[in-house]
Structure 1
């Protein structure tokens, strides 16, 4: 085992302090010009990181048959969530009877119209939310409507 010290301390003379002060740049935390705290070269980005997000050519094909005939108003993008605010509506017998009368007439103009099982009143148009915005959006909405009666 070597008897050399792990750390070499300079003497306490004022001459040594002046020399040390001349070698150290302000704001470097005591690193001299010969020592660089960070390497000047950037590390290469791994392929696994580069392949995390597919390009525009790899987008999913939109098939309205998979969504009950609904058509998107904007293209799907990974990480985006189509969101809207609505109030559920319980259809009574009178409403369903009216729907049975009106639907065939409406289908003469828009043949793809179909009867749905669940009804609602939309309070907003569809908007796009990033995944990390969903919980803050829901909480803000709950805070806003908390004072209203059901």
Structure 2
């Protein structure tokens, strides 16, 4: 099964600023008595909007130079006036969850081969993980705002709600070009089928703007049960944990197939309460209403 590739190197565009602002309270001084040493409390997690401000790495070259990206090749070439675009759901694991995910990578034997983690950057900075709702597509300048407005309106008018994702299994899958392989954590179908709902919204919007759909090459508004508009793609949704330039061996595939992810249901709190729209370096977060049980 082929996986659509996406990476920081494919999403580079001219630097712009986001319209997101953060109100950061002034730092309070710690008081210490002569006889007691006060230990600072652990800092709370950063707000989601903070990560949107720094969603892209700094571009070091406008040409495709795989040596700058661990051997990765740009799938979408950089063209002035084109805007790499991606629709996705984002998850930022907490510290204890990172420990769990690192343990998974160890069990998968990733330290024995050239595998690059997606949990942290080359500078050891934690990275957010995500579920894709689109391929990496390209919009022209005059399409940017109409596309963002159309997708936001479709999400607001839909029945899509916030939901918890539960890990189901591990797998190795390739991108469409067979240039990279990803170690992914597949997700169980949510109770109210929210992933398929959001995918249909994404594919509908992409089709309007002449862009390819995700997991299907065409989109139909037909009410036929065989239509791609109503097809169940639950077996495709996943969260990528690591990547490699070489295909996994049979031993690699066998090893991960025997790992039971059931215990992770309690140790990982994967909540998706918004949809991300990334156009160039600008990320907009569209909140999802809370589901009513």
Normalising by structure 1, we get a TM-score of: 0.49
Max Rg structure: 1
Determine which structure has greater relative contact order: mean sequence separation of CA pairs < 8 Å that are 6+ residues apart, divided by chain length: 2
TM-score (normalizing by structure 2) = 0.27
More strand by share: 2
Greater share of helix: 1
